Amino acid sequence: MNELRTFGGYVDRCVEHALTVLQPVAADVDLVVDDDIEVHLFRQSWPDTACGWPGIAGQAFTSAYTVVVLGPCSDAVVYLGRPAYYLPPAEARGQQTRPGPSSAKRDKFYAALNARTMPRVADCGSVGCRRF
């Protein structure tokens, strides 16, 4: 029972963070709400104990949960134990926002999501994402 509460707490923390990062549907709306998002949770295998993060790690295959929160503007936040990277919206809003990734990279992101094999943090640019 404690494992389920801890696991549920992990997803809740991911969603709470994502709601502060994802862009709302309309420019005059300040917040993204729970009804606007889609959450994907899956186990992913990694070739080392770093679980997708750069740095020194043990050489053992490791499974870890990956959480992907999709926003209403086709943006997304990926969590590999903690916030890892962000897929910006396809269209930039305002002058401070950079344009989003190309459609080819966005297609690679969704292909990786469908295959449940999100890239390592160091490779997040290959699917149009930006590291936190």
Say what the pLDDT of residue 91 is. 63
Residue 132 predicted with pLDDT over 90: no
Q: Which amino acid is at 21?
A: V
Predicted confidence (pLDDT) per residue in 18-37, tens digit: 988 898 877 667 777 778 89
Phi, psi of 7 (to 5 degrees): -65, -45
pLDDT (mean) for 7-27: 83
Report the alpha-carbon distance of residue 75 to residue 3 in Å, rounded.
30
Domain residues for the domain of 53 are 2-131
- pTM to 2 decimal places: 0.85
Say what the pLDDT of residue 84 is. 94
**Which residue has better confidence, 78 or 29?**
78
How many folded domains does the chain comprise?
Answer: 1
For residue 123, give the DSSP letter: G
Report the alpha-carbon distance of residue 132 to residue 122 in Å, rounded.
11
**Whether the Cβ atoms of residue 68 and residue 40 lie closer than 8 Å to each other:** yes
51: tokens are 């679980």
**Whether the Cβ atoms of residue 58 and residue 48 lie closer than 8 Å to each other:** yes
Predicted confidence (pLDDT) per residue in 34-48, tens digit: 788 999 999 999 999
Mean pLDDT of all residues belonging to the chain: 84
